[in-house]
Amino acid sequence: MNKKTLLQYLLHGTGPFTCSGTQALASTVSSYAKAAGEPDWPDIQLILQGASVFTRIHEYFNSGFCVKKEVLRKYYDKTTIYKDSFHIYIRYV
């Protein structure tokens, strides 16, 4: 997201600003929470996100999802850059 993509959205109604990114969220209770006596307290969150992979994605996802940049750099290699994709993130809360 930058001035160029904002202008693209304002002038043409297209680009990354047309999508919030997150399409769905789900919460569930793990066996660990149940064993700890918390059967009604969800401790796992699943996040479905549709996003194009961009060159600095590892920096944004590192801060947003606490995934190591080195892991993200290996996963998002040069073959995935600028491709549309879906991501499912599993977050333990």
CB 18 within 8 A of CB 5: no
Instruction: Break the chain into its structural domains and give their ranges.
Output: 20-92
Pairing of strands 22-28, 84-92: unpaired
Give the tens place of pLDDT for each residue, 13-49. 998 788 767 788 999 999 999 999 999 999 999 988 8
The CA R_g of the chain, rounded to the nearest whole Å, is: 17
Give the tens place of pLDDT for each residue, 42-82. 999 998 887 777 777 877 777 777 778 888 888 887 777 77
Is pTM, for the whole model, over 0.85? Answer: no
